[in-house]
Amino acid sequence: MIEAAGLEVPAIVGDGRLEGKVAIVTGGGSHGPLAGSGAAISILFAAKGASVLVVDRDDERSQNTLDVIERGGGVCATFGADITDPEQCRAAVDAAVGRYGRLDLLVNNAAIAPAEKLVDDEMWQAVLNLNLRAAKLMTDAAVGHMSEDGGGSIVNIASHAGLRAGGGIAYTAAKSGLIGLTKATAYEFGRQGIRCNAVAPGHVYTPMGIGYTGWSPELNGARRLRAAAGLLDTEGTAWDVAYAALFLASDEARWITAVTLPVDAGTVEVMPLVMYSRLAEAAAESTS
């Protein structure tokens, strides 16, 4: 593990898998040593040869990610935008094409996950606006350029909350809708050479992920329990999400579209009751 610009980054093999590709990653900013999925995806894509445009409403966070990429010898630029505004989405895409000459990859990663004790209409609108509608707006802005250039790949960062209930009403609805958007986009634009897939992260250790335990933010040993909920009994990170996105974005997945790939150590594929003893054991360990 190396540390660059305050962000911990694992060693990455620069194998050129995305050489010559141009990518936009929304919500790709970073802050502090722990990478979120957007930062990890941006850094990994750049290390694999892509020219990356990090789109984030927070310029300081975007600059942090850019600094990491440039220190690693990658190509990156930033663009400040509110992607719930269709004009700003079009401006972001135009900025990528204007700077790099084309657009091959779009990763719709930006999201919020507020505490949902009581979901009023304002929160509902805010969550669906960024977590679902913004992905549609960015897709609308991107597909024309991708089609002109012979195709492309869109990767939506969904969640296992889109596959199972429990992630909050608005968040679950938005991520479930994003999985549906993935399938519909794959259908509508497949004949134009555009693939669309989704990654559904589970209980990954990210700045957003550590705020959710499924019980209470104050619960002792929450990280241990989150790991125990999966079949591997280990903790996933943003880099696990990033490598899944890399595969789906790359030409190695050229015949894969409309797929949602869970990155969750098998959490959604097992009956909850059979995990009870393992979770109880982990809970006992964390409180002893």
246-274 confidence digits (pLDDT tens): 999 999 999 999 999 999 999 999 998 99
Q: In this structure, are residues 25 and 42 in contact, taking their beta carbons and an 8 Å threshold?
A: yes
Place 31 in a pLDDT band, splitting at 50, 70 and 90. confident
* pTM for this prediction: 0.94
DSSP collapsed to 3 states, 274-285: HHHHHHHHHHHH
Q: Give the model's confidence band at 211: pLDDT under 50 very low, under 70 low, under 90 confident, else very high.
A: low
Between 73-77, 116-120, 165-169, 230-234, the lowest mean confidence (pLDDT) is in 116-120
Active site residue 171: yes
- Whole-angstrom Cα distance, residue 171 to residue 200? 13
pLDDT at 1 over 50: no
Total domains in the chain come to 1
Q: Are 55 and 22 in contact (CB under 8 A)?
A: no
Per the DSSP assignment, residues forming a β-bridge with 237 are 205
Greatest C-alpha distance within the chain: 61
Which tens digit of pLDDT belongs to each residue from 102-151? 999 999 999 998 877 767 899 999 999 999 999 999 999 999 999 999 99
Full residue range of the structural domain in which residue 243 is found: 2-287
- Model pLDDT, residue 5: 56
Triad 236, 238, 240: Cα angle to 5°: 60
Return d(Cα 155, Cα 263) in angstroms, integer.
14
State the residue for tokens 């997945």: 253
The percent of the chain in helix, strand and coil, each rounded to the nearest 5, is 50, 15, 35
The mean of the pLDDT values for the chain is: 92
Catalytic residue among 100, 171, 205, 243: 171
CA angle 148–150–151, rounded 5-degree value: 100
**What average pLDDT does this structure show over 185-191?**
98
Q: What pLDDT is recorded for position 156?
A: 99
CATH number at residue 27: 3.40.50.720
Instruction: State the pLDDT at residue 217.
Output: 46
